[in-house]
Amino acid sequence: MATYSELSPRQSRKLQLRIMIISQKLSNISLCPPRTRGLLRLHLGCNRAPKPVLLTAGSAAHNVRTARKAYDLHPGTDIVFWLHQYHDCGLMFMLLTSVSGATCVLTSPMAFVNRPRIWLEHMTEFKATCTPVPSFTLPLVSISPSYSIAENCTFVSTAWRNNNDNSQNSCSPVFPSHNKLLPSARLASDEDEEEMNIIVVNEHTHEPVNDGIEGEIWVSSPSKGYLGHPLLTQDIFKGKLSNKVNRCYVRTGDRGIVKGEERFLYVTGRCVEMIQLPNGQEIHPHNIETAAYNSCPQL
């Protein structure tokens, strides 16, 4: 494939004409109102029956805008991934690529399954700086831990933050850990302006908890809700703090804790899986599994 500078004068004129024609056609396209229904995302869930999440043009645009800012994507960015386009993350990153003007290199999921190394080879060959993949692929490489939920289109947050630092360490950040967990977000300080507000609350009292105390993760979101499930939509998408009823949050059902001066958020488990002891103490099932395994490795 030739670059623009390698084209002959005739080829350059033909290309410019085609660009003008496309631009004229695009200028005649009317924009969708934000509340226009865009698509349905089937949320399988882990503890409830599958539900169709309604995604509007406005919620998709908001999600793409937030992700583009968080990942610092721009026309000079090169993206490599192998997710299906009917997977929510694959679909939204294709849209994100178009909006940010980035370059995207795709390969098939089967190519990765048959030879996982092809993923890193493509990243090296095309000098990719962004690669959205499932979490099971990440322990082998340097990563940007992120958090996503179907109810919020896909993207919610990332622990990586661009500080405009050109030093070598800025390209390979070292993240802290909490009980062997990597952070999924770095929450905003008072002076930061964020597209989405993430808070940790007491799931029973709906009051924010202090840093260092575990609770349910709530996310401010323009998402509309579940299609055909008005009561569930009211319960999940209209979460309100006890002292601030003028703002709605999506109740994620995930447990989390904020730690450290940089306010890293760690996703620790699911609310419905918590085991409550008679003394009021709450325990995660995986903590019991870990304790049992450490006591009897033969398990």
**140 pLDDT band (50/70/90 cuts)?**
low
Helix (H) and strand (E) counts in the chain: 7, 15
Structural domain that includes position 288: 144-160+178-299
Compute the average pLDDT of residues 180-196: 72
Top mean pLDDT of 152-156, 204-208, 238-242 is at 204-208
Compute the average pLDDT of residues 166-182: 65
Instruction: Lowest mean pLDDT of 26-35, 111-120, 227-236, 280-289, name the range.
Output: 26-35
Give a yes or no: residue 288 inside a domain. Answer: yes
Give a yes or no: residue 274 inside a domain. Answer: yes
Whole-angstrom distance, CA of residue 244 vs CA of residue 288? 37
Q: What is the pTM of this model?
A: 0.57
Give a yes or no: residue 92 inside a domain. Answer: no
Whether pLDDT at 1 is above 50:
no
Give a yes or no: residue 24 inside a domain. Answer: no
Give a yes or no: residue 13 inside a domain. Answer: no
**222 pLDDT band (50/70/90 cuts)?**
confident
Phi, psi of 225 (to 5 degrees): 135, -165
Domains of the chain: total: 1
Compute the average pLDDT of residues 91-111: 84
Give a yes or no: residue 139 inside a domain. Answer: no
CATH code of residue 229: 2.30.38.10
Compute the average pLDDT of residues 173-192: 75
Please state the three-class secondary structure of 181-202 as a single string.
ECCCEECCCCCCCCCCCEEEEC
Whether pLDDT at 61 is above 90:
no
Question: Which residue, among 62, 19, 54, has the nearest Cα to 38 in the 3D structure?
Answer: 54
Give a yes or no: residue 187 inside a domain. Answer: yes
Whether pLDDT at 70 is above 90:
no
Bridge partners (DSSP) listed for residue 157: 147
Give a yes or no: residue 70 inside a domain. Answer: no
